[in-house]
A and B are shown apart, each in its own frame.
Chain A
Amino acid sequence: MEPHNKLAAWLQAENISQAEMARRCEYDRSNFHRLLSGKLSPSLVLAARIERETRGAIPAVAWAEEASSGDTSHAGRYPAGGRAFPHRHLLSIGQLETHEILYLLDEAEQWVALNRQPQKHSDRLAGLTIINAFFENSTRTLLSFEIAGKRLGADVVNMHAAQSSVKKGETLIDTAVTLNSMRADAIVIRHQSSGAVALIADKVDCPVLNAGDGQHEHPTQALLDALALRHKLRERGEESFNGLVVTICGDVLHSRVARSNILCLQALGARVRVCAPPALMPTGVEAMGAEPFASFEAALSGADVVMMLRLQNERMEGQFIPSPREYRHLYGLTLERLRRCAPEAIVMHPGPMNRGVEIDSNVAELAGQSIITDQVEMGVAIRMACLDVLTRRERGVEGWA
């Protein structure tokens, strides 16, 4: 029996009401109801509390086993089988419908649970070859994708194209064809030019994941940000992004993270403000639905979430700001500035951080509000979900093949 059904049966046997149990577990009542109907997976904290309150009848590990058994708890909320995610590649958030974003987030929950177990391994992608082709230097994203692939049991190969034959004049298309001939089952690509990943996706037979293309999009980053944010909100007993005010501040012009997040957060119902010095604000960003601000103070006023971006000096041609010191003076997130936001505002940063420039250390580490390390954790789970979902057609998963 699934743990949520077990729990419902246990409550009935013990003659404890749902409301009472929710109270004992310090959890929101309506969400507890959804948990019991299998529409929601519990957080680790909640699962532990349930174990405590049921005196071990429903152990926390049961939820994780349930999650990793592949029978996901959100069945019925999405179109059946492959229609839940009809795309061959994951190239941009712009190509996704809201329910497809939610589907990936929900799929990731099982991997969040698995990743919190001592044995973090599934054999779901056993025997598959995943190539991480990074045409631009990266440490964090590459590591995250590598771990994600390995935890799913795939053979993961990293190609550091930034220092390879690409430098010898081989065209991008030839590189793509080469990767394709090696019969990769999925290719993860990062490239310094906008649109490059879509170009490669056109030439290969396997699913392609965009791990960042130039200044265009970085879809898995936006998904992991949404997942981290959702976890934090659920912890506070909130479920929906509707009306949430998110301020994205920093080098918006050069940021693919900003573009993907503007699209993703709005699709989920949030209102997005973007804040940057004029030279780093892209023209026409309001046409994407974001509200532009030059004043950081105004942009922070009443915001529920603050997402800070790094200055991408490597992409700048010419001088955009006089100095890092001056940038901090105008756009650095300090504790004092954070107080302009809504109480308990959530602090995010896609990393790597320049501490003391766009964000102060004491803000980055602010307990209860900063979810910067959660973002990294969710990154692995999201990438596992994306790899799993995108390879289902090739693996012949029922309903997908």
Chain B
Amino acid sequence: MKPMRLMLAASALALTMSAVSVEAKSPPNVLVVAKNIDDIVSLDPGQAYEFTSGEIVANIYDRLVEYDPLNIDKIAPGLAESWTVSEDGRTFTFKLRQGAKFASGNPVRPEDVVFSLRRVVTLNKAPAFILTQFGWKPDNVEQMIKKASDTEVTLTIPETFAPSFVLNALAARPGSIVDEKEATKNAKDNDLGNAWLSRNSAGSGPFKLRVWRPGEAVVLDANKDAVKGAPKMNQVVLSHVAEPSTQRLMIESGDADIARNLGPDQIAAVKDKPGIKVETYPQAALHFFSLNLKHDKLKNPAIWEATKYLIDYDGIANTLLKGQMKVHQTFWPEGFPGAVNENPYKLDVAKAKDILAKANVPSGLTIDVDMISSPPFTDIGQSIQATMGQAGIKVNLIPGTSAQVITKYRARQHEGMLLYWAPDFMDPHSNAKAFAYNVDNADTAPQSTTTWRNSWLIPELSARTKAALVERDPTKRLDMYRDLQREVLKQSPWSMTFQAQAQVALRDEVKGFIHGPTNDLVVYRNVTKN
């Protein structure tokens, strides 16, 4: 019987194919990290602006000044050994560390520092504003950023700011120092090496980029000559795994050493598995639910206040997103200097109804709420939809991709918005500007701030934000930010809800992994296995 034989052969083939099972563990000197890396656009420190690219840039490049990821209260020396600030607070002189070398073998010179900082301003890509906010422009960087001697650079700031603000901004990723010789060698069409640096590296940090394959992986090789010593692992592979449930299986099977994007259910599942440990790191990202005041129906402050009582903060943080969020209602995250950790609002439907009734808010209020169509937004959104409904506010959820949601948000076309905010650098001004500053509400003056995007015009608070920015007494400055946080907490047309927490699953043998409050502070340098 020929057909029978053929069929048997075919099914035998099918069976063997599915029966091939491979026992694979990650190699001993390679750290395999399962992570969603789809957000990377560029690995050029002058362009990198996403979570994952920020993390990679931070591990490839050094900055003049840096944070100790375990103690973010103080700024620490990086490639600069020491620095001085002039009397008027406008001139910063950095003395470079001696003997530092790039991965290429080239020494780190003042010229490299000057080149790197100038190029960020000249390129003017996404993160450039972190440096241009000092008043640096393509046509003045020649004067502002200069080599002072063979070991020193001076940076001049056109306006006066609190020195801590300037240093905090320089510690962010656009402050990364690039190997001028390598970048220039590979430059094309006057791009200062941008195209090449997007997918290659020229830094002095603990790792160098071996390859980035979009949607697949980023592979980092150890830089044996790193300023702060060679890393313990030969290679770090950030393997793109979009699905949390798959990340979980990979960490369980040992295919991955670290799983970075597990949801609450996956964490609960692996928490007690032998060989796996779960660590929780508070993050700087804050989640909020905002109302757009462009719509007349949402202009009544009673609605703003009522919605703050219509979110099941504890239910979401303790059950739905257990471990991944903690309740946080002010605009500067817990753990950062100057943060106010007061959370006065609780789910209180009766009180919310009372507020709405007293203010004569007509019943039948409907709010279309935009949100990104993935957890945790979908989970938070559906919970809020249910609790708002209890007070007679009908919430229509409009999920979209983050690109869609952001597009709508930028154009201020949303009614309600469920989103998060991560500070761009670790200074309270980064968030104060976003949540307590808006002096021009015009459509023609678009800002990326939460205030402008929700059309909340606040001249008085803005003046106070500005005053805090230039306050030179650090203690007084932080107090000013504390006052701002309390004020915004009371008045804002948004409910700040949660501070994110990164829950990371690691194989037991993985030691020395550091995950600071932002992705810039994820450190692979000290990781060992066994």
A pairs with B: no
